[in-house]
Amino acid sequence: MRAPPCATPGDRLSSSISTATDLLRTLVGFDTTSAKSNLALISFVEDFLKGHGIAATRVPSPDGAKADLFATIGPKGQGGIGLSGHSDCVPVEGQRWTSDPFTLTLRDGKLYGRGSCDMKGFIACVLASAPAFKARNLKEPIHIIVSYDEEVGCTGVRPLIARLGKDLPRPRAVIVGEPTSMAVIDAHKRIDAYRTRITGREAHSSMPELGVNAIAAAAALIGELARIGAGIAARDRDERFEPPHSTVFVSTIEGGIAHNIVPKNCEFQWQVRSLPEASPDEVPRDLAAFAEGELLPQMRRVTEEAAIDTANEGSVPAFVAAPGSEAVALALALTGADRTKAVSYTTEAGLFEEAGVPAVICGPGNIAHAHAPDEYVAVAQLEACLAFLDDLAARLA
Ligand SMILES: [Zn+2]
């Protein structure tokens, strides 16, 4: 792709929707499903920035198969505003798409493609704006942050965040451009993901009393999780969130080997999405109390080897912007919104905030269209984001 010409003083400095659309077409064309490498996309972004005289630093994943990217436009040093987006997207397998998910397709003012909304649309707007950022005489820097593996537990951005304030400049605020329809989000829930493994005892199905049925134990545990979840939902509420309580959810289950064998093994994955103020330990603790107090004593009457083990498979911290957050104040000023909102999905914002970098979530597209077949971002949303970025640059110039 040919790089667009740099804006010069006197030009209208805002970047065009056609440049952003062209960039989005290229970004969507890279299949950056989280399980795959994102290096082709990162190389493209690096080359695009280099073409506009902007140097970038790669932060490679431990196995070298993926990388984050960090680029600064404007004066060197600490401070400035970070614009952060993840390059990975969720899989398309099993989804019915009207058009090829990796070919950006315009229909009725909507740009369809995997990741168009979540969140390559934001990255395309940021890249399209980079030449205009460069042409401004920025008094404080704008940093472009592109991460990997957001969709699998926000793991990829963590090594980059660890370097902020060390060999990478620490922004004074970060805007995470997840799809919020350009609303200003200052809080989200937390996720804790778990896997519970049950070990029972095999037996011939004609004599089930000689075995310990691991699937039946899993069913009892899942029933208990539902009871625990209902108890929490009835007790702790925060009306800013939809739904206004923590949720407990079972996502996968696997067990048994044949219809005539009492199953020895079963395992299931589950997760808790907690309100920021909730204690994340409560659900696993209550489940363990049920397992040890009620279920295991029954199972161990048959075999001492019966076991129930629960392992945490990853957590994403909740996000709550600090009172008086300059990131939130900036996003409110740029959008003209008079209030903030809270959401139930998680993002990288909690990790930035936890590291002492004030964060806010604001980006183009509707989260309801993310992860779904026929994912799209409206052209009007990209235009709103370009105007937002243009305003940001004007404020920093
Ligand atoms: Zn996302």
Overall pTM > 0.75: yes
Q: Cα of 349 to ligand 1 centre, how many Å?
A: 11
Per-residue pLDDT reduced to its tens digit, 349-397? 999 999 999 999 999 999 999 999 999 999 999 999 999 999 999 999 9
Q: Is 312 exposed, middle or buried (0-12, 13-18, 19+ CB in 10 A)?
A: exposed
Q: Cα of 87 to ligand 1 centre, how many Å?
A: 9
Helix (H, G, I), strand (E, B) or coil at 105: strand
For the chain of 397 residues, list the mean pLDDT of each consecutive stretch of 10. Answer: 39 70 98 97 98 97 97 93 98 96 97 98 98 94 98 95 96 98 98 98 95 98 98 96 96 97 98 96 98 98 98 96 97 97 96 97 96 96 97 95
Measured distance CA(385)–CA(259) in Å, rounded: 56
Distances (CA, A) of 29 to 24, 26, 202, 266: 8, 5, 49, 39
Reply yes or no on whether 390 is catalytic: no
Whole-number pLDDT of residue 216 = 98
Whole-number pLDDT of residue 65 = 97
> Are the CB atoms for 274 and 280 separated by under 8 Å?
yes
Q: CB-side exposure of 396: number of CA atoms within 13 Å?
A: 27
Q: For tokens 């103020």, what's the residue?
A: 277
Burial 136-166 (b: 16+ CB within 10 A, else e): bebebbbbbbbbbbbbebbbbbbebbeebee
Residues 6+ apart with CB under 8 A from 335: 182, 183, 184, 362, 388
Catalytic, out of 31, 46, 68, 88: 88
Whole-number pLDDT of residue 78 = 82
Catalytic, out of 31, 68, 149, 150: 150
Q: Cα of 112 to ligand 1 centre, how many Å?
A: 16
Q: Cα of 221 to ligand 1 centre, how many Å?
A: 31
Pair of tokens at residue 184 = 């200003």
Measured distance CA(25)–CA(99) in Å, rounded: 14
Whole-number pLDDT of residue 355 = 97
Measured distance CA(349)–CA(345) in Å, rounded: 11
Q: Cα of 132 to ligand 1 centre, how many Å?
A: 25
Reply yes or no on whether 374 is catalytic: no
Helix (H, G, I), strand (E, B) or coil at 156: coil
Pair of tokens at residue 117 = 């909304």
Measured distance CA(43)–CA(40) in Å, rounded: 5
**Residue 61 CA from chain centroid, whole number:** 17
Q: Cα of 311 to ligand 1 centre, how many Å?
A: 25
Reported as type and span, the H/E element at residue 231 is helix 214-235
